[in-house]
Structure 1
Amino acid sequence: MTVLLERLVNFLKLDAMIDMDFDNGADTTTALANHLFGKLATSPVYTIDNTLKSKGNKCGCNDESCELTGQYGDTNIGNPEVWHGNVTILIKDEVVVESLEDEQECSDGKAQMKNRTCSDLSRNAQLVAETIVFSFLQKKRHPERSNFLTPCIGIAKSCLVIMLYDSEHDVLLESSLIPLMSATCICSNKFSVDAILVTWLALNYKFLCTGLTEEMLPCKANFFEQAKKSIDLFKNNLTIQNVASICEREVILPSE
């Protein structure tokens, strides 16, 4: 617990400034991985989807001497029989981060980001699917844990959201939308305190999360019922990395 608090306190004391106004999703992803997620987790190691590799081991920020503390690699999770796909970032194989910024090719051949609004994060189908799959995966890999409420961090241009799913009790939760950058900074180049605290809690959930409260237990997502024909696959046959890319079909999502 001391190490966790030191990471948070040191980050807040540093009060670092970073320009997040990038023209492509790859630079945004590496800057967030290096300057937010890697600094608030217990370890600075992370894996970025290798399809985003553009600058070798260099961070996407404006500091040319800044190098990644993680690496590019295979971030595929799931099972081809139900759902699988590459997530944007894996933090120590414990937390999924998904950037919902899409890159589009312009007429000049250069890739530019299609900006997503904060509302695009709420009930986002891709984020829901990844959160459900990753919770089942974590329960399979760590059956010794006291609870299986597992977070997934969704990032858009100016905000983030935390989605959580408990694969034991079939409860899906979503946070409110959280501004990524500080509104009090004139240059808007500091992370907001809310984003820092919520990100710290999510990244270190295996140490800090005590699971669902009694009031949350009745709030079922009904995923077990909707996916009953393939629920055993979710419970027993999900994998992380080296996931075959055949016979893919969409995961069944909880109805509203």
Structure 2
Amino acid sequence: MAALYKPRDKRRKIDIDSELKSLIISIKHSTSLPDITATLRALCEGDADALTVLIIESSNACLGYGVPFSMAFCHTKLQLKESYTFASFFVPGMSLIEKALNMTDWLPDDDLSKQSLVRLLSFLNDKGSINFIKTLHKRQDIFNNETRLCVALAEHVLTKLAPKANYILDHHYPRLKTDDECRCGCHSKIDDKYGDTSIGHYSVWHGNIDALVGGEGLEIPVLIDLTNDPDSPGGRAQAEMKHRIKNEHIEDFPIKHQMLSQAIVFSFLQKARHPDSKHFLIPCIGMSAKQMIVYLYDSKYDVLLQSRAISLTDGNEVNYTGLIVLWLVLNYQNLGSGLSEYCVKNMSKAAFLKGADSETENIYKERLPVGDVHGRSMCETLDPTSTRRVVITPPDTPKFVWPS
């Protein structure tokens, strides 16, 4: 039976090779090529596009009872002297596009790399996709509603750049009957896109992700920033945080704490699910109609990185930095290189589990479920007779200062 599929597989290979060659020629003759190459150069050299190391000074991640993502607190300190070029952690991806743009008649050897390039170059060559990003922030019927914004970004940006065109939306999203399709005008049906996106554990950080993009166990968590909508998860989280954190400057996105908690939990989860992966620097994406931000956490080496807030548009034009960064992080398994030996040796550690008891540490490392994750109140989680209530904090643990 296997022989019957060889001609079809060969034809498919010829088709993708032909498509990729055509796309490379098209992008090389595109008027946007100077902007694209300037973006690539900045990701390799530019300070503005660097990733900065974070150290966790205090959090409510290891209290001995569960905390939902919407109530997560993770105060970090930026290590301004520890900024690394974005390309440092995505060497295969940057090399892939560099060769495509600089070499004649060159194609990658493996199909996965070919598919990744096809998805990026197809997007960059697609006027409809580019115009969608340019005009999204003008569509008040979309960007003022978190559900519709999440659907629009998933349908027209994220899945077009991800290795698999799959996504799952949090089934807790508020929606009307009219929200059974994408509201941008494409009329794509989305009834089957809602599902259980909960991760974590009821004894630690846990909750639902706005959207999981990708597939086959290598999804990327995406958090939508819509703080002007009080009924949205992001809006509720921001309202809750306002009275809890009065004096802290929250860098870049108002939902930073929620993003950090999801990025860290997801990294531990993926390390447990895919222990043979070549690296565990797992990204989490935060997006609004106008900008995006990326956090990456390596649960093996305890390194936490933050990008700057990246605008999706530059005046009336698209900002190619956002598109290429999205492409790299959504394809992190194939296009990412993780932490180099130099980074492992020299980077400051996030100290995420510092002060955690052994059971809490074990939960993060080995017992994080996917789906059907429900929280418990503190009184339900803590057993009055349990020794877990007595946590010995190492003497070198920084003093935690909790918000009133």
Q: TM-score, normalised by structure 1?
A: 0.83
Distance 1:178 1:88 in 2: 20
Q: What's the CA shift for 1:122?
A: 7.5
Provide Cα deviations, 1:13-43, integer angstroms capped at 9, x if missing partner.
0032223233211111111010110111121
3-state SS of 2:340 partner:
coil
Structure 1 counterpart of 2:203, one-letter code:
E
Change in CA separation of 1:184 and 1:70 when aligned onto 2, cut-off 3 Å: farther
3-state SS of 1:164 partner:
strand
Change in CA separation of 1:7 and 1:69 when aligned onto 2, cut-off 3 Å: farther
Task: Tell me whether 1:9 sits opposite 2:135 in the alignment.
Answer: no
Counterpart of 1:74 (choices 196, 212, 217) is 196
Q: What's the CA shift for 1:119?
A: 4.5
Distance 1:86 1:234 in 2: 16
Taking only aligned residues, the RMSD between alpha carbons, in angstroms, comes to 2.7
Counterpart of 1:97 (choices 191, 198, 222) is 222
3-state SS of 2:269 partner:
helix
Residue 349 of structure 2 corresponds to 220
Distance 1:74 1:181 in 2: 32
Q: What's the CA shift for 1:66?
A: 3.3
Q: What's the CA shift for 1:225?
A: 1.6
List runs of 5+ in structure 1 lacking aligned partners. Answer: 106-110, 186-190
Distance 2:255 2:375 in 1: 26
Provide Cα deviations, 1:27-86, integer angstroms capped at 9, x if missing partner.
11111010110111121110011122444541131x153334970111111000101111
Counterpart of 1:194 (choices 311, 321, 326) is 321
Residue 243 of structure 1 corresponds to 373
List runs of 5+ in structure 2 lacking aligned partners. Answer: 1-112, 239-249, 382-397
Structure 2 counterpart of 1:210, one-letter code:
S
3-state SS of 2:169 partner:
strand
Counterpart of 1:58 (choices 161, 175, 181) is 181
Larger fraction in helix: 2
Q: What's the CA shift for 1:180?
A: 1.8
Q: How does 1:138-217 map to 2 (within 5 A)?
A: 138-185=270-317, 191-217=318-344
Structure 2 counterpart of 1:49, one-letter code:
D
Distance 2:267 2:187 in 1: 37
Structure 2 counterpart of 1:243, one-letter code:
V
Task: Tell me whether 1:84 sits opposite 2:206 in the alignment.
Answer: yes
3-state SS of 1:144 partner:
coil
Q: What's the CA shift for 1:157?
A: 4.2
Structure 2 counterpart of 1:81, one-letter code:
S
Q: What's the CA shift for 1:101?
A: 1.4
Aligned residues of 2:225 and 2:255 also touching (Cα < 8 A): no
Distance 2:339 2:192 in 1: 32
Aligned residues of 1:26 and 1:60 also touching (Cα < 8 A): no
Provide Cα deviations, 1:98-151, integer angstroms capped at 9, x if missing partner.
11213226xxxxx8x96x9x9442881111100000000000000011211100
Aligned residues of 2:295 and 2:307 also touching (Cα < 8 A): yes
Aligned residues of 2:203 and 2:375 also touching (Cα < 8 A): no
3-state SS of 2:350 partner:
coil
Structure 2 counterpart of 1:237, one-letter code:
R
Change in CA separation of 1:216 and 1:27 when aligned onto 2, cut-off 3 Å: same
| More displaced 10-residue stretch of structure 1: 122-131 or 199-208 | 122-131
Distance 2:284 2:258 in 1: 11
Distance 1:2 1:176 in 2: 29
3-state SS of 2:151 partner:
helix
Structure 2 counterpart of 1:5, one-letter code:
L
Aligned residues of 2:302 and 2:350 also touching (Cα < 8 A): yes
Change in CA separation of 1:123 and 1:223 when aligned onto 2, cut-off 3 Å: farther
Task: Tell me whether 1:39 sits opposite 2:169 in the alignment.
Answer: no
Distance 1:24 1:78 in 2: 26
Aligned residues of 2:181 and 2:191 also touching (Cα < 8 A): no
Q: TM-score, normalised by structure 2?
A: 0.54
Number of aligned residue pairs: 238
Structure 2 counterpart of 1:34, one-letter code:
E
Change in CA separation of 1:35 and 1:123 when aligned onto 2, cut-off 3 Å: closer
Distance 1:184 1:69 in 2: 33
Change in CA separation of 1:177 and 1:120 when aligned onto 2, cut-off 3 Å: closer
Structure 1 counterpart of 2:372, one-letter code:
N
Change in CA separation of 1:192 and 1:66 when aligned onto 2, cut-off 3 Å: farther
Residue 188 of structure 1 corresponds to none
Counterpart of 1:124 (choices 238, 248, 256) is 256
Q: What's the CA shift for 1:2?
A: 0.2
Kindly name which structure, 1 or 2, has the bigger radius of gyration based on alpha carbons. Answer: 2
Structure 1 counterpart of 2:326, one-letter code:
T
